[in-house]
Amino acid sequence: MTMRMRFCWPLVVTTIAVAMSPTAAAQNLTLDEVLQRAQRYVAQWVPQLANIVAVEEYEQRMTLPARPLRTLKLKSDILLVRYPGAEVDWMFFRDVTESDGRAQSSGQDRLLFLFQNQTAGTADRASRISNEAVRYSLPGATFAATNPLLTVALMQTYYQTRFRFTLGDIDRSVGPTARVIRFEEIEEIREKANGEGTRRETLPVLLGAAGRVRGSTWVEQETGRILKTEARIGDLAQRSTTTTTFGQDERLGVLVPKEMRTTWRNENTPVNGTAKYSNYRRFQVSAETPLLQLPQ
């Protein structure tokens, strides 16, 4: 399943002024204040991530009873791209180029095709290419479980009504004012009372067959920057967990995924993975042609 990132372009970039020391101010913020800062930051941050391509090196390990450890090493091009034919939707895009050292596709050609054909008719192909990457993973993987930006997408204002949020403590292991926001997908809502009493309505699952999601986001309170995310998808028996840490790319001047750790189960067999991200660079647009090109 492709998780689309939706937001409205901010018309004005708002600077958050903090009069007291960052730590003191952080301790006094309410849940709504932290959440609003995070959502405002995401709305400004996602367009900065768009059209930045990176290399993902993803090692997965499956522990089999009484058998040698099974490992898989994938190398992919990843980027966040505007959803073809849409104005405010984005999708995480992965194209596997190597599997255990064996070439799989011409990633640059496929990425260029996606950018050359920014029409609604290309959306299905773009989704197929991105979801196709899951088949290279070890058994039990889902697109949601292997998406480093999943929780960032869920933190957008668009999805706010689908979650119950709670404010946690400051986690100084992540940052001096990194406040934890916990979230849980709402399963049902109460409808207004009628002549037969109050009725409950079960809500559709946001991630479809992958299951309902809950997790945590570590937010730098004075700026709203998201420093770390964790999503737990599905029930206890088949739960997957995706944890992403972000760091500043000095050359591009933006926070980017640095590492993703994943866990899931294939039936009763655990699968663990670690993805590292490097070589961030922007697609460049030629002034003479709409073709976007990778820098040399």
Counting residues of the chain whose pLDDT is more than 70, the rounded percentage is 72
d(CA 263, CA 285): 38
Q: Tell me which of 155 and 132 has the higher pLDDT.
A: 155
The domain total for the chain is 1
104 pLDDT band (50/70/90 cuts)? confident
What pLDDT band is residue 249 in, cutting at 50, 70 and 90? very high
| Model pTM score | 0.82
Quickly state the pLDDT bin for 10 (edges 50, 70, 90): very low
Minimum mean pLDDT range among 46-60, 92-106, 225-239: 92-106
- pLDDT band at residue 95 under the 50/70/90 scheme: confident
The pair of three-digit structure tokens given for residue 77, joined into one six-digit string? 């091009």
Measured CA to CA, the distance from residue 97 to residue 77 in angstroms comes to 7
- pLDDT band at residue 192 under the 50/70/90 scheme: low
Are 243 and 230 in contact, with CB atoms under 8 Å apart? yes
pLDDT digits (tens, 9 = 90+) for 161-190: 999 999 999 999 999 999 999 999 998 776
Is residue 195 situated within a structural domain? no
> Distance (Å, rounded) from C-alpha 148 to C-alpha 76?
13
Q: Residue 286: inside a domain, yes or no?
A: yes
Cβ-based neighbour number of residue 59 at 10 Å: 13
The answer to whether residue 249 is domain-embedded is yes
Interval 212-229 mean pLDDT: 96
Closest CA to 275 of 141, 184, 173: 141
- Is the pLDDT reported for residue 107 higher than 60? no
Question: Can you name the residues that pair with 106 across neighbouring β-strands?
Answer: none
Coil, helix or strand at residue 33: helix
pLDDT above 90: percentage of residues in the chain: 48
Lowest mean pLDDT among 113-122, 190-199, 229-238: 113-122
Confidence class for position 11, pLDDT limits 50, 70, 90:
very low
Confirm whether 82 is domain-assigned: yes
What integer is the mean pLDDT of 239-266? Answer: 95
Which stretches of 188-278 are DSSP H helices?
A: none
Nearest to 280 by CA among 10, 77, 94: 77
In a domain, 194, yes or no: no
Is residue 102, in this structure, part of any structural domain at all?
yes
CB 29 within 8 A of CB 179: yes
> Which CATH number characterizes residue 12's domain?
2.50.20
Task: Check whether 91 has a pLDDT greater than 90.
Answer: no
Q: Does residue 248 sit within a domain? A: yes
Nearest to 240 by CA among 251, 252, 231: 231
How high is the mean pLDDT of the chain?
80
Q: List the domain range (segments joined by +) for residue 23.
A: 4-188+206-293
Q: Are 246 and 228 within 8 A, CB to CB?
A: yes
How many Å apart are CA 182 and CA 217, to the nearest integer?
A: 6
Q: Which residues contact 20 (CB under 8 A, 6 or more apart)?
A: none
Quick check: is 200 in a domain? no
Question: Token pair of 29, please?
Answer: 């913020």
